[in-house]
Amino acid sequence: MEEKKNKNQLNIELNEEVAQGVYSNLAVITHSPSEFVLDFIRVMPGVPKAQVKSRIVVTPEHAKRLMLALKDNIQRYESMHGPIKNIEDGHPGGGGSIPMNFGGTTPQA
């Protein structure tokens, strides 16, 4: 029984560079009939041009598994920490826009 369990186990390697992670405060998702493209972007205050930090391409089936996993994890997070506010619900830049000054002053050259 133990051997069968080990055969189904997947070893995942996480090198030091990837383990550091990449900060993103915006995601843009597009799709075709055969794939979903997830672009993770970092928007910086006072900088009019944002930069894609990572692009992940997945199958529609994997995109749905990711959505379900995110939904489950968000529910668990909110049960521990309270509801996550939507931008439309009163965060800076309400109405779905991205706040370019992050609530501080906008730098000028």
Per the domain annotation, does 13 fall within a domain? no
Per the domain annotation, does 15 fall within a domain? no
Per the domain annotation, does 41 fall within a domain? yes
Q: What are phi and psi of 17, to 5 degrees?
A: -65, -45
Q: State pLDDT tens for residues 2-43.
A: 556 677 899 999 999 999 999 999 999 999 999 999 999 999
Per the domain annotation, does 1 fall within a domain? no
The yes-or-no verdict on residue 50 having pLDDT over 90 is yes
Per the domain annotation, does 32 fall within a domain? yes
Per the domain annotation, does 58 fall within a domain? yes
- Residue 44's domain comprises 23-84
Residue 93: its pLDDT value, please? 45
Per the domain annotation, does 10 fall within a domain? no
Q: How far apart are CA 62 and CA 81, in angstroms?
A: 28
Domain count, the chain: 1
Per the domain annotation, does 104 fall within a domain? no
The yes-or-no verdict on residue 100 having pLDDT over 60 is no
pLDDT above 70 covers what percent of the chain? 73
